[in-house]
A and B are shown apart, each in its own frame.
Chain A
Amino acid sequence: MGSGTLITLMLAAIVFSAGGIAVSKILTKGSTNLQKGQAYECGVPTAGSAWKQFNVGYYLFALIFLIFEVEMVFMFPWAVVAKKVGMLALVEILVFVFILFMGFLYAHKKGALKWM
Protein backbone atom coordinates (compact mmCIF):
# COMPACT_ATOMS: atom_id res chain seq x y z
CA MET A 1 0.00 0.00 0.00
CA GLY A 2 1.29 3.40 0.89
CA SER A 3 2.56 5.49 -1.92
CA GLY A 4 1.52 2.79 -4.34
CA THR A 5 -2.01 4.01 -3.82
CA LEU A 6 -1.01 7.39 -5.05
CA ILE A 7 0.50 5.97 -8.18
CA THR A 8 -2.56 3.84 -8.73
CA LEU A 9 -4.81 6.82 -8.38
CA MET A 10 -2.67 8.79 -10.74
CA LEU A 11 -2.84 6.04 -13.29
CA ALA A 12 -6.57 5.77 -12.77
CA ALA A 13 -6.96 9.46 -13.45
CA ILE A 14 -4.85 9.24 -16.56
CA VAL A 15 -6.72 6.21 -17.83
CA PHE A 16 -10.02 7.84 -17.13
CA SER A 17 -9.21 11.11 -18.86
CA ALA A 18 -7.34 9.57 -21.73
CA GLY A 19 -10.12 7.05 -22.21
CA GLY A 20 -12.72 9.76 -22.37
CA ILE A 21 -10.72 11.79 -24.82
CA ALA A 22 -9.98 8.75 -26.92
CA VAL A 23 -13.67 7.85 -27.10
CA SER A 24 -14.52 11.31 -28.24
CA LYS A 25 -11.73 11.18 -30.80
CA ILE A 26 -12.99 7.92 -32.22
CA LEU A 27 -16.67 8.67 -32.27
CA THR A 28 -16.84 12.22 -33.46
CA LYS A 29 -16.34 13.80 -36.76
CA GLY A 30 -15.23 17.35 -36.68
CA SER A 31 -15.53 19.89 -39.35
CA THR A 32 -12.95 22.41 -40.21
CA ASN A 33 -13.26 25.91 -41.38
CA LEU A 34 -11.07 28.91 -41.42
CA GLN A 35 -12.43 30.56 -38.33
CA LYS A 36 -12.75 27.56 -36.10
CA GLY A 37 -9.27 27.52 -34.75
CA GLN A 38 -9.08 31.21 -34.02
CA ALA A 39 -9.36 32.44 -30.49
CA TYR A 40 -12.84 33.20 -29.31
CA GLU A 41 -13.32 36.71 -28.14
CA CYS A 42 -16.99 37.54 -28.20
CA GLY A 43 -17.27 36.83 -31.87
CA VAL A 44 -14.90 39.38 -33.30
CA PRO A 45 -11.37 38.73 -34.51
CA THR A 46 -8.74 39.26 -31.90
CA ALA A 47 -5.81 41.53 -32.20
CA GLY A 48 -2.87 39.18 -32.12
CA SER A 49 -1.90 36.60 -29.58
CA ALA A 50 -2.79 36.68 -25.93
CA TRP A 51 0.74 35.82 -25.04
CA LYS A 52 1.94 39.22 -24.37
CA GLN A 53 3.15 40.87 -21.30
CA PHE A 54 0.48 41.35 -18.72
CA ASN A 55 0.27 43.90 -16.05
CA VAL A 56 -1.54 42.35 -13.21
CA GLY A 57 -1.01 43.31 -9.64
CA TYR A 58 -1.57 39.86 -8.26
CA TYR A 59 2.07 39.10 -7.76
CA LEU A 60 2.26 41.10 -4.58
CA PHE A 61 -0.34 38.84 -3.08
CA ALA A 62 1.61 35.85 -4.25
CA LEU A 63 4.68 37.22 -2.47
CA ILE A 64 2.89 37.68 0.78
CA PHE A 65 1.11 34.42 0.39
CA LEU A 66 4.38 32.60 0.01
CA ILE A 67 5.60 33.90 3.34
CA PHE A 68 2.46 32.86 5.11
CA GLU A 69 2.39 29.52 3.40
CA VAL A 70 5.82 28.80 4.82
CA GLU A 71 4.65 29.91 8.19
CA MET A 72 1.78 27.49 7.91
CA VAL A 73 4.14 24.69 7.09
CA PHE A 74 5.83 25.24 10.40
CA MET A 75 2.60 25.37 12.23
CA PHE A 76 1.49 21.92 11.20
CA PRO A 77 4.04 20.02 13.25
CA TRP A 78 3.54 22.49 16.00
CA ALA A 79 -0.21 21.96 16.02
CA VAL A 80 0.19 18.23 16.26
CA VAL A 81 2.22 18.38 19.43
CA ALA A 82 0.87 21.58 20.91
CA LYS A 83 -1.47 19.85 23.27
CA LYS A 84 1.23 17.52 24.52
CA VAL A 85 3.86 20.15 24.99
CA GLY A 86 1.48 22.42 26.80
CA MET A 87 1.98 26.03 27.75
CA LEU A 88 5.44 26.16 26.22
CA ALA A 89 3.98 25.51 22.80
CA LEU A 90 1.59 28.38 23.23
CA VAL A 91 4.34 30.74 24.22
CA GLU A 92 6.53 29.67 21.37
CA ILE A 93 3.85 30.03 18.79
CA LEU A 94 2.83 33.34 20.28
CA VAL A 95 6.30 34.65 19.66
CA PHE A 96 6.33 33.15 16.21
CA VAL A 97 2.96 34.49 15.21
CA PHE A 98 3.59 37.81 16.86
CA ILE A 99 6.69 38.42 14.81
CA LEU A 100 4.91 37.52 11.63
CA PHE A 101 1.88 39.49 12.54
CA MET A 102 4.12 42.49 12.82
CA GLY A 103 5.03 41.86 9.20
CA PHE A 104 1.41 41.55 8.33
CA LEU A 105 0.60 44.81 10.04
CA TYR A 106 3.50 46.43 8.29
CA ALA A 107 2.20 45.22 4.96
CA HIS A 108 -1.18 46.53 5.84
CA LYS A 109 0.14 49.92 6.90
CA LYS A 110 2.15 50.19 3.72
CA GLY A 111 -0.94 49.46 1.69
CA ALA A 112 0.54 46.37 0.13
CA LEU A 113 -2.67 44.50 0.72
CA LYS A 114 -4.67 47.08 -1.07
CA TRP A 115 -5.45 46.46 -4.64
CA MET A 116 -3.18 48.22 -7.03
Chain B
Amino acid sequence: MTPVGLPHILLLSTALFFIGMFGFFTRRNLITMLMSLELMLNSVNINFVAFNKYLYPQNLSGVFFVIFIITIAAAEAAVAIAIIINLFRSSDSIDVTDAEEMKF
Protein backbone atom coordinates (compact mmCIF):
# COMPACT_ATOMS: atom_id res chain seq x y z
CA MET B 1 0.00 0.00 0.00
CA THR B 2 1.14 3.42 -0.77
CA PRO B 3 1.36 5.80 2.13
CA VAL B 4 -1.72 7.84 2.60
CA GLY B 5 -1.77 10.78 0.31
CA LEU B 6 -4.07 13.02 -1.55
CA PRO B 7 -5.87 10.31 -3.58
CA HIS B 8 -6.88 8.43 -0.46
CA ILE B 9 -8.34 11.52 1.04
CA LEU B 10 -10.15 12.32 -2.14
CA LEU B 11 -11.63 8.88 -2.20
CA LEU B 12 -12.81 9.35 1.34
CA SER B 13 -14.46 12.61 0.50
CA THR B 14 -16.05 11.19 -2.62
CA ALA B 15 -17.47 8.28 -0.69
CA LEU B 16 -18.85 10.61 1.90
CA PHE B 17 -20.33 12.82 -0.75
CA PHE B 18 -22.22 9.99 -2.33
CA ILE B 19 -23.38 8.66 0.99
CA GLY B 20 -24.88 12.07 1.54
CA MET B 21 -26.37 11.98 -1.88
CA PHE B 22 -27.88 8.60 -1.26
CA GLY B 23 -29.48 9.94 1.87
CA PHE B 24 -30.70 12.96 0.02
CA PHE B 25 -32.42 10.81 -2.54
CA THR B 26 -33.95 8.27 -0.23
CA ARG B 27 -35.17 10.47 2.57
CA ARG B 28 -38.49 12.19 2.29
CA ASN B 29 -38.17 14.10 5.46
CA LEU B 30 -36.87 17.63 5.23
CA ILE B 31 -34.79 17.39 8.36
CA THR B 32 -33.09 14.19 7.32
CA MET B 33 -32.50 15.68 3.93
CA LEU B 34 -30.85 18.61 5.56
CA MET B 35 -28.68 16.20 7.47
CA SER B 36 -27.60 14.50 4.27
CA LEU B 37 -26.79 17.87 2.86
CA GLU B 38 -24.49 18.56 5.77
CA LEU B 39 -22.64 15.36 5.00
CA MET B 40 -22.13 16.46 1.44
CA LEU B 41 -20.89 19.86 2.50
CA ASN B 42 -18.41 18.21 4.77
CA SER B 43 -17.04 16.03 2.05
CA VAL B 44 -16.43 19.17 0.04
CA ASN B 45 -14.62 20.65 3.00
CA ILE B 46 -12.36 17.66 3.13
CA ASN B 47 -11.43 18.25 -0.45
CA PHE B 48 -10.60 21.85 0.10
CA VAL B 49 -8.39 21.09 3.00
CA ALA B 50 -6.68 18.22 1.28
CA PHE B 51 -5.89 20.22 -1.83
CA ASN B 52 -4.64 23.06 0.26
CA LYS B 53 -2.50 20.83 2.35
CA TYR B 54 -1.00 18.70 -0.36
CA LEU B 55 -0.89 20.93 -3.38
CA TYR B 56 -0.70 24.51 -2.23
CA PRO B 57 0.79 24.55 1.22
CA GLN B 58 2.16 28.04 0.73
CA ASN B 59 -1.13 29.77 1.28
CA LEU B 60 -4.20 29.21 3.37
CA SER B 61 -7.02 29.61 0.91
CA GLY B 62 -8.39 26.12 1.41
CA VAL B 63 -8.53 26.50 5.14
CA PHE B 64 -10.26 29.81 4.80
CA PHE B 65 -12.70 28.37 2.37
CA VAL B 66 -13.55 25.65 4.81
CA ILE B 67 -14.11 28.15 7.57
CA PHE B 68 -16.37 30.15 5.34
CA ILE B 69 -18.23 27.08 4.21
CA ILE B 70 -18.81 26.06 7.76
CA THR B 71 -20.10 29.54 8.42
CA ILE B 72 -22.40 29.38 5.49
CA ALA B 73 -23.51 25.91 6.47
CA ALA B 74 -24.42 27.22 9.86
CA ALA B 75 -26.37 30.11 8.42
CA GLU B 76 -28.02 27.82 5.93
CA ALA B 77 -28.96 25.29 8.59
CA ALA B 78 -30.41 28.00 10.77
CA VAL B 79 -32.54 29.43 8.03
CA ALA B 80 -33.50 26.02 6.72
CA ILE B 81 -34.66 24.86 10.08
CA ALA B 82 -36.59 28.02 10.66
CA ILE B 83 -38.33 27.42 7.36
CA ILE B 84 -38.91 23.76 8.12
CA ILE B 85 -40.48 24.55 11.43
CA ASN B 86 -42.56 27.22 9.84
CA LEU B 87 -43.67 24.77 7.23
CA PHE B 88 -44.48 22.23 9.84
CA ARG B 89 -46.55 24.63 11.83
CA SER B 90 -48.64 25.54 8.85
CA SER B 91 -49.10 22.10 7.36
CA ASP B 92 -48.35 19.74 10.20
CA SER B 93 -45.94 17.81 8.11
CA ILE B 94 -42.43 18.15 6.88
CA ASP B 95 -42.59 15.66 4.10
CA VAL B 96 -41.21 17.00 0.85
CA THR B 97 -44.19 15.79 -1.11
CA ASP B 98 -46.41 17.82 1.11
CA ALA B 99 -44.13 20.75 0.87
CA GLU B 100 -44.29 20.74 -2.87
CA GLU B 101 -47.97 21.32 -2.76
CA MET B 102 -47.54 24.35 -0.63
CA LYS B 103 -47.61 27.75 -2.13
CA PHE B 104 -45.47 30.38 -0.61
Please report A residues at the B interface, Cβ cutoff 8 Å.
59, 63, 66-67, 69-70, 73-74
B67 in contact with A67 (CB, 8 Å): no
Interface of B is mostly: helix
> Among the listed B70, B75, B85, which residue makes an inter-chain contact with A59, where contact means beta carbons less than 8 Å apart?
B85
B81 in contact with A70 (CB, 8 Å): no
A-B contacts, 12 of them at CB < 8 A, read A59-B81, A59-B85, A63-B81, A66-B74, A67-B74, A69-B74, A70-B70, A70-B75, A73-B67, A73-B70, A74-B67, A74-B71
Q: How far is the CA of A43 from the CA of B82 in the complex (A)?
A: 38
Chain A residues near B77 (CB-CB < 8 A): 66
A-B contact count (CB 8 A): 21
- B interface, size bucket: 10 to 19
B74 in contact with A70 (CB, 8 Å): yes
- Closest approach, in angstroms, between the C-beta of B72 and any C-beta of chain A? 9
B78 CB-CB contact with A under 8 Å: yes
Q: Which residue of chain A has its CB nearest to the CB of B72?
A: A70
Instruction: Pick the most buried of B78, B82, B85: most chain A CB atoms within 10 A of its CB.
Output: B78
